[in-house]
Amino acid sequence: MKKKTEPDITEYPHDDKSRPYLCTVCHKRFTTKQWLTIHSKRHDGENLQYQCTYCEKRFTNQHNLKRHMNVHSSKYKCSECGKCFCNNSDLAVHRRIHSREKPFECTVCSKRFTTAGNLMIHSRIHSGEKPYKCHVCGKAFNHSSCLHTHMTVHTRDKRYECPLCSKRFSHSSTVHAHKRRVHSNSRLYDCPYCGKLFKTNSDLKCHVRIHTGAKSHLCRHCSECFTSWYQLKLHLLKSHNEGAWLICNICQKKFLNGSSLKVHLLRHQHLKQYACRECQKSFCTSAELKHHQLVHSDYKQFFCGLCGKDFKRREGVVRHFKKCSAELGLSSV
């Protein structure tokens, strides 16, 4: 007989009446006080007595630890990338990544997804539904993970540390993503147009837009569509007065997100801690340094899928691809 567990509410909208018990740490809601008590133990480090011997993740009870250990078992292992899963159904869903099977289609923009949950989350882009609201500042989000990430702005809680570089994060999942992006050389996702390899599926999706020019981000107020979420957000602010600018308190310059404002403030402080070994030129961020270092390299990682011309930078191949498509009489969209 299977042990009864509280349904996972992270992917579903809910109201205060049906789930009256609120966790004061992560703001998840529960139907009974008992489920809230069990959940609250996850936030208490002293109650996480059961530790996984493989990845050192901790759990409140032996049942959860035993269920987690299945992840490290080879019983449900993907033959393509070696990733392990707790059960066969999770493995079957994962395999769609490699087969590119996407059975769930959005009725508004025809974008397809591997799971019904991902389709439901995507549909909120069109409906404008934001069921997850911050109780501190009132900002609303269309996904619970976005709310959890946002809450760290108020709590400044970064309890998870990367064992390789000691950088700290608010969520354990962010640590795993950081290790894969920064410390791993494994690239399992290949571009079907040019064969370039990527560490994550999200990186591959961003890259493919270079070749397709796809504009999957639709404005819910008008017929405009955009290639990136950033462009859509900028459009909503400028054309429909939706959202709010983040303003520098020194020069009053406006920004769309906190990370851009943070980098901008470093420029006011003249903090340039990333220096080029070739010419000693300094930069505020590691991304700027990496972009600059292409000046000293002959390596051209981008190439046009139509004519084969090589480029050092992404923006160069994007401009060229549009021009090349027009010359060949092809549509870049």
299-320 per-position pLDDT tens digit: 777 777 778 788 888 788 878 8
| Of 95, 54, 46, the residue nearest 71 (C-alpha) | 54
| φ and ψ of 325, to 5 deg | -65, -40
For 258-315, the pLDDT digits (tens) are 888 888 888 888 888 888 888 888 888 888 888 888 888 887 777 777 787 888 887 8
User: What number is the average pLDDT over the span 107-127?
Assistant: 82
Q: Which residues of 172-201 are buried (b: 16+ CB within 10 A; e: fewer)?
A: eebbeebeeeeeeeeebbeeebbebebbee
pLDDT at residue number 25: 66
Task: Record the tokens describing residue 38, joined without a space.
Answer: 């069990």
Does residue 9 surpass a pLDDT of 50? Answer: no
What local confidence, expressed as pLDDT, does residue 189 receive? 80
- Beta strand spans in the chain (E): 21-22, 29-30, 50-51, 58-59, 104-105, 112-113, 132-133, 140-141, 160-161, 168-169, 189-190, 197-198, 217-218, 225-226, 246-247, 254-255, 274-275, 282-283, 302-303, 310-311
Answer for the pair 100, 83: CB distance below 8 angstroms, yes or no.
Answer: no
Distance CA 201, CA 205 (A): 6
- pLDDT exceeds 50 at position 194: yes
Q: CATH for 244-297?
A: 3.30.160.60
Q: Which residues contact 5 (CB under 8 A, 6 or more apart)?
A: none
Nearest in space to 152 (alpha carbons), one of 132, 176, 134, 175: 134
Confidence band for 46, pLDDT divided at 50, 70 and 90: very low
Q: How far apart are CA 60 and CA 40, in angstroms?
A: 10
> SS3 for 310?
strand
Check residue 56 and give its pLDDT. 67
How far is residue 270's CA from residue 284's CA, in Å, rounded to a whole number?
8
- Going by pLDDT thresholds of 50, 70 and 90, the confidence category of residue 16 is low
Residue 200 and residue 182 in contact, taking contact as beta carbons nearer than 8 Å: no
**Positive or negative, the Cα torsion across 193, 190, 165, 86?**
positive
pLDDT band with cut points at 50, 70 and 90 for residue 7: very low
In the chain, where are the structural domains located? 244-297, 300-333
At 11 the pLDDT is 36
What's the CA gap between 165 and 265, in Å, rounded? 25
Assess contact for 94 and 86: CB atoms under 8 A.
no
Contacts (Cβ under 8 Å, ≥6 apart) of 240:
219, 221, 222
**Which residues, other chains included, contact 288 with Cβ-Cβ below 8 Å and sequence gap of 6+?**
274
Question: For 300, how many CA atoms within 13 A lie in the half-sphere containing its CB?
Answer: 10
CA-to-CA distance for 179 and 201, rounded, in angstroms? 15
Q: Which two tokens stand for residue 25?
A: 């740490």
Segment 242-254, tens digit of pLDDT: 878 888 888 988 8
pLDDT for 70 equals 73
